[in-house]
Every structure is written in structure tokens, then in C-alpha cells.
Amino acid sequence: MTPSSTTWPRRWGDVPGGGLRRGDLYFFSKNDGLQNQSVIWVQKGLDGTPEVLLDPNTFSADGTTTLSTFSVSRDGRYAVYGQSVGGSDWSEYRILEVGTKQALSDVVGWVKVSGAARARPAGSSSRPT
């Protein structure tokens, strides 16, 4: 399903499972019915072309590494995602640069029962993104 002005929800939820708007970017998940996990998509504007942002089905050859969390910064430039290996409730969090679809080198390991948030830079008076 591609969002449109008539079918896209008016209230935004968390991805996966719903949709999320950050600036002019729309993030949503979709599963073709044959995939083990839903794929995270991004598109610019309601009439933009959807592009795969993150496909958790490619995390491991045997399919045992899953997407445990996904959160997008307020400006839509970055996303954090968690990977859980072999059904473990421990995750590793990575930061994804949305524009390039590339993961940064930073990894936060041994995360359990936690969401993700971005703190504001030191000396900044703005709210966290």
C-alpha cells in the first residue's frame, strides 16, 4: 500500500505496524505475505515513490536475526534500529542515515527492554530530535 491523501492515516503511530511522518518523509512497513518480517519503506511526500529503507529479512541468511526496534529522528535524517539474534531479548542498536540508507559505525550492544531516543547536543536549547 502506498500512502495517499485519502488512504493514509491522519494519526501517526510507530513504525512498524503503522506509519510515521517526519518532515516531508513518510515511513511505513509492508510485508508481501511471503516475508518473515515486514520491510521498512520511506517515501518523499504523499505522491513520492516508495523506496526500501531497511529490510530485516537480509540481516542473516538463516532468518534468525530480527528487527527489535525502529525509531526515526524528528527531522527524519536518522533512524535507529535494533537487531536481535536467534530469538534473544538482547539487541544491538545501530544508527541509519536515512538519506544514504547507510548504517553508521556506532553500535550500542547488550540493550534489553528499551526504546531509543536522541538527546540534544551539549549547549543546545532545542528539544531532542
Report pLDDT for 45: 93
Q: What is the pLDDT of residues 82-106, one digit of tens each?
A: 999 998 989 999 999 999 999 999 9
Residue 15 has pLDDT above 60, yes or no: no
Report pLDDT for 122: 56
Going from the C-alpha of 53 to that of each of 39, 79, 87, 119, the distances in angstroms are 8, 10, 23, 23
Give the domain range for residue 108: 19-112
Structural domains counted in the chain: 1
Q: What is the pLDDT of residues 16-38, one digit of tens each?
A: 556 889 999 999 999 989 999 99
- Please check whether residue 118 lies inside any domain of the structure: no
What percentage of the chain's residues is helix, strand, coil (to nearest 5)?
A: 0, 45, 55
- Please check whether residue 6 lies inside any domain of the structure: no
pTM for the model: 0.77
DSSP 8-class letter at 56: G
- Please check whether residue 41 lies inside any domain of the structure: yes
